Amino acid sequence: MLRQIPFAIAATGLLAACSSPSSSLMMPTARSSQALSIVKGTTDSPASSALHRQRFLYIADIDGQPGLGQIHVYSAAMKPSEQIRLISIGTGRPFGLWVDANNILYVANESNLDPASVTEFKPGASSPFFTITNFIGQPGSVAVDASRNVYVNESRQDHGYVEVFAPGSNRAMRTIDTGIGGYAFDPGSMAFDPKGNLIVAESAKLALHLVGVAPGSSQAVPLNLNVTNITGPGMGVDKAGNIYVASQGGTISVFPPGATEPSRTISPVPGYGLTWVTPQGAVYQASGEGSVAEVAPGSSSPTFTLNCLCSAQGVAVSH
């Protein structure tokens, strides 16, 4: 266990306007997905323009195609629970998701039938316009800062690294050693605070670890949060700076800014998958199986659960 060092965290939101993310790669079970129709979209059609004015929930499903997977797209309201479309090109073996301020979707894909990649999709598109493939490890989650730099949390020989790519580049401009490793390692969620500090969640030795990285730095500093009894790599942050930490035990612990102990918990919420937190504090939690739980801001229990024929790993919500 690494020595915990205090790290200043300011008020934050994982994304501007509407949303924020997080991940887990250890699932209790896997489910088969039935065939679903793919709605192909373009970025310049009238239908696509209408899509841009809506908010969407994206779910990373590793079971959709054997060795490939797919992304399910629903309304972010989650009601009614009818799938809008399906993305199955450039999805690899998808785990972590991110949506940036321009509603571009980023998908972190582990290698299987396709090489490891991070694929980027314009709003409404059914195939990527750019793909990153030059990694030192296996991508588990992805995050994008205000300058559109792409951060990829990777696993290499049971150890965590974050590589940073400039927009449109396939070569990392720097590599950050998270300092976290050990058996049962899974790269977890990432988020930014308003000062640009990167927060990284990692799961190793059946425990959660959180580190912070200052803007432009390659040094990861352990955060001083009591997560001793928390397992799983799901994490998110709201605009007030509250940190939401998901546990495979079925709870989400909420840590106020500067606090080392949670002020409240949310349950029951299966937390084998990644977490997405909106700036307002709404939580979307992937179960790692066939559901995504929605928690309203300030609520202590799920307000809605979306069930799908999928193995839900990562989630993200558009603006």
Q: What is the pLDDT of residues 12-66, one digit of tens each?
A: 333 333 333 333 333 333 333 333 333 333 333 444 344 445 899 999 999 888 7
Q: What percent of the chain has pLDDT over 90?
A: 71
Q: What is the 3-state secondary structure (H, E, C) of 225-250?
A: CCCCCCCCCCEEECCCCCEEEECCCC
In a domain, 6, yes or no: no
Who contacts 188 (Cβ-Cβ below 8 Å, separation ≥6)?
22, 23, 24, 140, 141, 153, 200, 201, 202, 203, 208, 232, 233, 234, 235, 274
Total number of domains constituting the chain: 1
- CATH assignment of the domain containing 263: 2.120.10.30
Task: Report the mean per-residue pLDDT for the chain.
Answer: 85
List the beta bridge partners of residue 144. 150
Residue 241 maps to a domain: yes
Range of the domain at 256: 46-317
Q: Is residue 102 part of a domain?
A: yes
pLDDT band at 294; cut points 50, 70, 90: very high
- Specify if 36 maps to a domain: no
Look at residue 28 and tell me if it is in a domain.
no
pLDDT (tens digit, 9 = 90+) per residue, 96-131? 999 999 999 999 999 988 999 999 999 999 999 999
pLDDT tens digits, 276-286: 999 899 999 99
Distance CA 235, CA 189 (A): 6
Q: pTM for the whole thing?
A: 0.84
How far is the C-alpha of 1 from the C-alpha of 207, rounded, in Å? Answer: 9
* Cα distances (angstroms) measured from residue 248 to each of 1, 99, 136, 145, 253: 19, 24, 28, 28, 12
| Residue 134 forms part of a structural domain | yes
> Amino acid identity of 214?
A
Angstrom CA distances, 129 to 17, 69, 118, 138, stand at 24, 18, 11, 21
- Residue 305 reports pLDDT greater than 50: yes
pLDDT value at 2 more than 90: no
